Amino acid sequence: MENINLFSEISKKMSEQDCFLIFPHLHPDGDALGSSVALAEALRLMNKEAWVLVEEAFPHNLDFLDKNMSTTDKDIFKGKDYISIMLDCSDKNRIINRYSSFERGNIKIVIDHHLTDNLNFKTDYEVIEPKAAATGELVYNLIKELGVSMNKFIADSIFTAITTDTGNFQHSNTTALTHKIAMELYDVSGFNSKPVSNLIYNRESLNSIQLEKLVIDSMMTYEDGKIVIAFITNKMLIETNTDMSETDRFINKLMTIEGVEIAAVCKQDMGDKTKVSLRSKNYTDVSKIAKKYGGGGHERASGFNLDVLPYDAPYIFVDDLKKAINI
């Protein structure tokens, strides 16, 4: 790991401090929350005060990670020195409502695996490792560097970070190191991946399955089925009594279709806007398309926002998808 020397410097600095505020990105996923609570737990095992500052409830399938470690109180360390740690993101806009609390930290650290050209804010330490499949891999190494002996909760949290960000070890970001870390988690007493996987993946509500039916019904295909686009509207959510936090898995469902190279999901956002998520299977770089519309991400997973309603969104970008698959 290229950043191991930096981790030893960071861990020294961390050992000298008492208070830590951890910042997962907005709409946190399994990697952001798993990494955050794993690090908070490790710091608490070192008798430090550590909190994960959030602005939303944990998604239902990740509620088991919410173990009295998250707070919405931006002033929880009022009058005290603390270290700010941004995890799974390196963009201040993705923690914008909490950014002032991040900035107040007397040492600021960013640990992320998203490719970034330039940070749009000041930090003391940045560990940005695009080869890492998940921020959880980086946090795992940091916890080892801190010398904390891992407990079951840390192992469960790191496993959650890794399994969710790799599509359960199926995405192209999965490496030998990813599997090695998963293997090492079995050395932690009580750890077993199966019950964690059941908590993450096998607790769909009937409502959510009914929403899935509507999303699948909305599907449109292009270029002989190489491209598939589906929609999630507020109307669908109301009809099935569900919310947007339950919709992240649908794009993966579309990717399971034989012959699909690119899948897009257009989600209604704040009334008349749309969040577009893109995935590609084998050879197309969807991060270029996302960038064109002011978004970002990885070659195989990216996203962007449009100021139109979901059903109008494909008219804007579908030609880009067609060009990408016909390269």
Is the Cβ of residue 185 or residue 236 nearer to Mn ion in the bound state? 185
Q: Cβ(164)–Cβ(301) under 8 Å? A: no
Minimum CB distance to Mn ion, residue 145 (Å): 20
CB neighbour list of residue 54: distance below 8 Å, 6 or more residues apart: 24, 28, 70, 71, 72
Binding segment toward Mn ion, per CB under 5 A, in 64-72, 75-83, 86-94, 95-103: 86-94
What is the Rg, in whole angstroms, of the alpha carbon atoms belonging to the chain? 20
Contact 260, 223 (CB under 8 A): no
Site string (37-76) toward Mn ion, x via CB under 5 A: ----------------------------------------
Residue nearest to Mn ion (CB): 31
Q: DSSP character for 158?
A: H
Closest Cα partner for 168 from 153, 179, 180? 179
User: Rounded distance, CA 57 to CA 249, Å?
Assistant: 18
Number of chain positions touching Mn ion (CB under 5 A): 4
Rounded to a whole number of angstroms, the minimum distance from the CB of residue 114 to Mn ion is 7
Residue pair 196/159 in contact (Cβ under 8 Å)? The answer is yes
DSSP string, 286-316: HHHHHHHTT-EE-SSEEEEEESS-GGGHHHH
* Stretch of 68-76, 159-167, 194-202, 255-263 contacting Mn ion, by CB under 5 A: 159-167
- Closer CB to Mn ion, residue 31 or residue 156? 31
- All residues at 6 or more sequence positions from 190 whose CB lies less than 8 Å from its CB, including other chains: 152, 155
297 vs 310 by CB, closer to Mn ion: 297
Torsion, Cα 282 30 288 111, to 10 degrees, reads -120
**11 versus 135: smaller Cβ distance to Mn ion:** 135
Nearer to Mn ion, 108 or 113 (CB): 113
CB hemisphere CA count around 222 (13 angstroms): 20
For the CB of residue 236, give the shortest distance to Mn ion in the complex, in Å.
Answer: 27
Binding flag, residue 165, Mn ion (CB under 5 A): yes
Q: Is 137 in the site for Mn ion (CB under 5 A)?
A: no
CB of 220: closest distance to Mn ion in angstroms? 29
Is 88 or 129 the residue whose CB approaches Mn ion more closely? 88
- The closest alpha carbon to 27, from 262, 277, 204, 252, belongs to 277
Binding mask 1-40 for Mn ion (x = CB under 5 A): ------------------------------x---------
Say whether residue 88 binds Mn ion (CB under 5 A). yes
Nearer to Mn ion, 18 or 248 (CB): 248
> Of 176, 183, 166, which is closest to residue 1 (Cα–Cα)?
176
139 vs 232 by CB, closer to Mn ion: 139
The residue range among 96-104, 163-171, 212-220, 288-296 that interacts with Mn ion, by the rule CB under 5 A, is 163-171
Residues of this chain that interact with Mn ion (CB under 5 A) are 31, 88, 135, 165
